[in-house]
Amino acid sequence: MLDIQFIRDNPELVKEKSAQKNYPVDVDRLLTLDAERRSKLTQIDELRRRRNEQATELKQQRPTDAQIAAGRQLKEELATKEGELAILDDTYFALLKSVPNIPADDVPVGTTENDNVVTKQVGTIREFDFEPKSHWELGESRGFIDKERAAKVAGSRFAYLKGDLVQLHFALMNFAMSVLTDETKLKEIAAAADLQVSTKPYTLVMPPLMIKTELYDAMDRLEPRDDRYKIEGEELWLQGSAEHVLGSMHVDEIIPEADLPIRYAGYATSFRKEAGTYGKDMEGIIRLHQFEKLEMESLTTPEDSLNEHLLHIAIQEYLMQQLGLPYQVVMKCTADIGKPDARGVDIDTWFPAQQKYRETHTADHMTDYQSRRLKTRLKRADGSVELVHTNDATALAQRPMIAIMENYQTADGHIEIPAVLQPFMGGKSQI
């Protein structure tokens, strides 16, 4: 959520940037409600002051009928004003929450994802001397992927992963975790990216797979609700990505500045309905209702947050380079970065069977947009308190595994294992 004082001071900027993100907001209406709310709060404070004064006086003497009547009237006026404020607050906060984060200055202005900007391409696209198969064809022929039986058990967009493909998945996760927990490696990555940033290792986390409605909403990741799974009869939802339950860990906490940055690498099974994608990516395991992912989440001081975002991107690139996968870095435009993001960067990896790059990673820079509603703050050495900044980014998920299947396939349908993963595969060089 944006700071209301920022909106008061910059109404035209907020209108412009909200429109650029395709979130039309009635800023004028919001500011009118804000003024009404402040007036109402002043009236309530005055009534409470008068009521307290009267209570103090009545303690010192026996109350008269007139004093009792006056006290009753004050109580009724206060209850009326508080009721009016409660009704006003419902509208006010709903409108305030609808205001998106302000995009950073370097975010390209665009109306759809087609306006995203490719900033660089890395790696050599392999030339096959045979017709490359899709990951689905490879997985089905080798018995690695079984969607037919999964459909009988759970419905469409679910899959059984089996055999060596499961081992490959966990090799990817273990490889990423080995990097994120190695301070020496993080120093190398930061130095290569010319970043002056802490190289504090990430703490590994296996988080809850459910999140309360209030916190999901505070993270600004609950919408669109038709893409989320709610637990019937409870104010609980299955999380849609690990950062939803990582970023909310420190709700209502004040963190000493010396403890920052706080970095988590959370592994979770995530759930999405994939609403609105009927008929899209139905084959294979690119777009499932359930998927596995290792996610990076960071809490930092405001002055360190942009470099933390850039570190996440540098880590993503390092992982992809070590895996030997061709990729491109994409600066997402205003319409595609999402409501809570100030900046968003994707990494798209080359998929030979589709002859195109597909998104495999994203890195989100939220500034203090999430922490304001979570009330996650930091305490400076001088005793002052302010909001932390949050960042999240994909470390590795299932899509890079799919890219390995397609880019490292052999003519006879086997899959070569990238050298960096072989130690995590018991020395196997091929599956």
Distance, in Å, from the CA atom of 268 to the CA atom of 145, rounded to the nearest integer, reads 20
Asked if residue 275 has pLDDT above 80, the reply is no
**Proportion of the chain above pLDDT 70, given as a percent:** 100
Asked if residue 120 has pLDDT above 80, the reply is yes
Architecture of domain 113-425: 2-Layer Sandwich (3.30)
pLDDT score of 60: 73
Q: Which residues contact 354 (CB under 8 A, 6 or more apart)?
A: 134
The chain-wide mean pLDDT, for the chain, equals 96
Asked if residue 63 has pLDDT above 90, the reply is no
pLDDT score of 61: 78
Residues carrying CATH 1.10.287.40, the chain: 4-97
pLDDT score of 415: 97
Work out the burial of residue 224: count CB atoms within 10 Å of its CB; fewer than 13 is exposed, 13-18 middle, 19 or more buried: exposed
The string of DSSP letters for 18-85 reads: HHHTT----HHHHHHHHHHHHHHHHHHHHHHHHHHHHHHHHHTSPPPHHHHHHHHHHHHHHHHHHHHH
Q: Are 231 and 353 in contact (CB under 8 A)?
A: no
Q: Both tokens of residue 414?
A: 């086997």
pLDDT score of 65: 80
Give the residue, 65 or 15, on which the prediction is more confident. Answer: 15
**Proportion of the chain above pLDDT 90, given as a percent:** 91
pLDDT score of 280: 82
Residues carrying CATH 3.30.930.10, the chain: 113-425
Provide the whole-model pTM.
Answer: 0.94
**Integer angstrom CA distances of residue 366 from 24, 50, 111, 337, 379:** 19, 43, 20, 10, 20
pLDDT score of 142: 94
**Integer angstrom CA distances of residue 102 from 54, 288, 295, 336:** 47, 31, 24, 13
**Residue 212, strand partner residues:** 236
pLDDT digits (tens, 9 = 90+) for 199-208: 999 999 999 9
Residue 70: pLDDT band by 50, 70, 90 thresholds? confident
pLDDT score of 59: 75
Distance, in Å, from the CA atom of 431 to the CA atom of 167, rounded to the nearest integer, reads 10
What torsion, rounded to 10 degrees, do the Cα atoms 259, 316, 108, 366 define? Answer: -30
Residue 54: pLDDT band by 50, 70, 90 thresholds? confident
**Residue 358, strand partner residues:** 349
pLDDT score of 402: 97
pLDDT score of 77: 92
Mean pLDDT on 179-187? 98
From 151, 248, 261, select the one nearest 208 (Cα to Cα). Answer: 248
Fold adopted by 4-97 = Helix Hairpins (1.10.287)
Residue 51: pLDDT band by 50, 70, 90 thresholds? confident
> Quick one: residue 325, left, alpha or beta (phi over 0 = left, psi -120 to 50 = alpha)?
beta
Distance, in Å, from the CA atom of 294 to the CA atom of 266, rounded to the nearest integer, reads 6
pLDDT score of 104: 98
pLDDT digits (tens, 9 = 90+) for 281-339: 888 899 999 999 999 999 999 999 999 999 999 999 999 999 999 999 999 999 999 99
Sign of CA pseudo-dihedral 262, 263, 267, 273:
positive
pLDDT score of 405: 98
Q: What does R_g of the chain's alpha carbons equal in angstroms?
A: 26
pLDDT digits (tens, 9 = 90+) for 128-176: 999 999 999 999 999 999 999 999 999 999 999 999 999 999 999 999 9
E strands, 164-209, are 203-205
Q: Are 207 and 245 in contact (CB under 8 A)?
A: yes
What torsion, rounded to 10 degrees, do the Cα atoms 415, 421, 425, 427 define? Answer: 90
Asked if residue 428 has pLDDT above 90, the reply is yes
What is the 3-state secondary structure of 290-350?
Answer: EEEEEEEEEEECHHHHHHHHHHHHHHHHHHHHHHCCCEEEEECCCCCCCCCCCEEEEEEEE
